[in-house]
Amino acid sequence: MDRIRVGVLGATGNVGQQFVGMLVDHPWFELTALAASERSVGKRYCDVAKWRAERELPSEVGEEVVLPVDPGKVDADLVFSALPADLALKVEAEFADAGFVVASNARSYRMFDDVPLMIPEVNPEHLGLLEVQQDTRGWDGCIVTNPNCSTIIMVTTLAALRGFGLESVQVATMQALSGAGYEGVASMAILDNVLVHIPMEEEKMETETLKLLGEFDGERVIDAEISVSASCHRVAVMDGHTEALWVKMRDDPTPEEVREAFHGFDADLHDLPSEPERVIIVRDEEDRPQPRLDRNAGGGMSVSVGRIREGIRYIAMGHNTIRGAAGASVLNAELLHKKGIL
């Protein structure tokens, strides 16, 4: 299999660093370009990235010179985007138009009718939208997106429960600081505190979920008919979003049946390199999952669940910058490659 040359747009940020960490030794992808803002362009990556990913920054990557986010300057077949949303709207279209495959974390294109919003274990058939997208927009490349970090953790668990007939979901989140980006939340605001509003987060959870669990009819995705109500909060945890969920289902399953559905959930992706051994890990201890103990399960790609009670109520937890961001995009790109789209 030929190696695919990949670049990272927004490589110096929180999510960009996780991309770099996941791509340096990737069996299919070769990291050929690191791009960021004018503040970083022309400087060595190790001098401008405030490195905090799980693994050490390899010295050969640290010596790389940062490029501008310009399709003419980036030598790659695919770019992973970890750009701020307002910028991503313009830049991702320029890259797709120039023939690049863009795997994006930003919210900018997630809800467009012709753009796949993907979790490979949940809705791989939505990749069919790429044909519609290229016909509509006349791009040689394309854009595929992954959901918001809180949404992906919740929807992965809901996908395991689809067979019981999902009717309504209520969720309260406790979200990590890294979800706000490096400069995101002032220490004076978050220490000894809980922030009870995260701009646009509740709307994203309530709308993206319907598209992700919707049906692709060959031309478009028809939203799932589920009611979703979210309340989102920022807490002083470095990485790992925790969510308390209440789920109503037509078949009214018992907690034991729900536990079995989580435990048995297997996406059958046939060995994508970043696919965790278990998509969902059931924690039976009464005080799990917890971010510090469970966020790195499955290399940060597994979602942990626990405290499954009558109702049905449970807790879900996952690594927001890996499963909720960089890892989600890398898994999308692996699926594209496996399907021959790259």
Ligand X SMILES: NC(=O)c1ccc[n+]([C@@H]2O[C@H](COP(=O)([O-])OP(=O)(O)OC[C@H]3O[C@@H](n4cnc5c(N)ncnc54)[C@H](OP(=O)(O)O)[C@@H]3O)[C@@H](O)[C@H]2O)c1
Contact between 174 and ligand X by CB under 6 A: the answer reads no
Query: What's the token pair of residue 329?
Result: 């995009």
Contact between 130 and ligand X by CB under 6 A: the answer reads no
Binding track, positions 271-310, relative to ligand X; x by CB under 6 A: ----------------------------------------
Q: Which of 4, 6, 61, 82 binds ligand X (CB under 6 A)?
A: 82
Contact between 178 and ligand X by CB under 6 A: the answer reads yes
Contacts of 283 (CB under 8 A, 6+ apart): 289, 294, 304, 305, 306
How many angstroms from the chain centroid is the CA of residue 329?
A: 6
Instruction: Report the SS3 class of residue 153.
Output: helix
The active-site residue, picked from 126, 241, 319, 337, is: 241
Contact between 155 and ligand X by CB under 6 A: the answer reads no
Nearer to ligand X, 118 or 166 (CB): 118
Contact between 15 and ligand X by CB under 6 A: the answer reads yes
Q: 42 — alpha (psi -120 to 50), left (phi > 0) or beta? A: left
Contact between 324 and ligand X by CB under 6 A: the answer reads yes
Contact between 320 and ligand X by CB under 6 A: the answer reads yes
Binding track, positions 28-57, relative to ligand X; x by CB under 6 A: --------xx-xx-----------------
d(CA 46, CA 38): 16
Number of C-beta neighbours around residue 273 at 10 A: 15
Q: Give every strand in the sheet of 227-231, ordered side by side.
A: 227-231, 166-174, 241-249, 313-318, 303-309, 280-283
Question: At 230, which amino acid appears?
Answer: A
Contact between 85 and ligand X by CB under 6 A: the answer reads yes
Report how far apart, in Å, the C-alpha atoms of 154 and of each of 36, 49, 159 are.
Answer: 30, 30, 9
Q: Which of 83, 96, 103, 267 binds ligand X (CB under 6 A)?
A: 83
Q: Which of 7, 53, 76, 105 binds ligand X (CB under 6 A)?
A: 105
Nearer to ligand X, 7 or 324 (CB): 324
Catalytic (active site) residue 149: yes
The residue of the chain with the least Cβ separation from ligand X equals 13
d(CA 21, CA 255): 37
d(CA 244, CA 258): 15
Question: At 201, which amino acid appears?
Answer: E
Tell me the backbone φ, ψ of residue 148, rounded to 5 degrees: -55, 150
Catalytic (active site) residue 241: yes
We find the least distance from the C-beta atom of residue 228 to ligand X, in angstroms, to be 18
Catalytic residue annotation: 149, 241
Q: Interface with ligand X by CB under 6 A: which residues?
A: 10-16, 36-37, 39-40, 69, 82-85, 87, 105-106, 148-149, 178-179, 181-183, 320-321, 324-325
